[in-house]
Amino acid sequence: MYGVYECSRQELTFKMKYSEVSMSYSTEFAASFVATIVDGHADQAHEMLSATLSKDMSAADLANEFTALSEDMGGVTGIGEPMEVLDDWPGKAANELALVYVPLLGDVYSEAVSVTVAQTDGALRVSGVEWGRP
């Protein structure tokens, strides 16, 4: 079982040059995105999406996807320690930095959200979200 990962939602956007971005920033950003949704702030999480993804997925879509996953697993009791899974994969866009696996802990069983983190105009953004364990 993973330990509970605490992250601040105070700084939702990290602005920095591409060369300064480390994997830990991507991992923390992905965990912050998931924590924001878990805390019931899908509107704030939506602001973390890339321009392309935000056109395809509304804040209500984020909330609905999370609610469905949460109900399937008997509720979310916390967030496990996020893990950077990949920093290179087939079809990776030039601005994508990492694919981060963020475990969701539950009383019945655990699930996860896989978050693709990209950098756009000097800011980290979520460019992809997959609900549930792979």
Place of tokens 């395809």: 56
What is the mean pLDDT of the segment spanning 3-29?
A: 50
pLDDT-above-70 percentage for the chain? 83
Amino acid identity of residue 81, one-letter, is E
The pLDDT confidence band at residue 22, using thresholds 50, 70 and 90, is low
Which CATH class name applies to 21-131?
alpha beta
- The pTM of the whole model exceeds 0.85: no
β-bridge partners, 111: 104
Backbone angles phi, psi at 84, to 5 degrees: -75, 120
Show Cβ contacts of residue 112 under 8 Å, excluding neighbours closer than 6 positions.
Answer: 80, 101, 102, 103, 104, 132, 133, 134
Q: What pLDDT is recorded for position 84?
A: 79
Q: What pLDDT is recorded for position 51?
A: 95
Q: What pLDDT is recorded for position 23?
A: 55
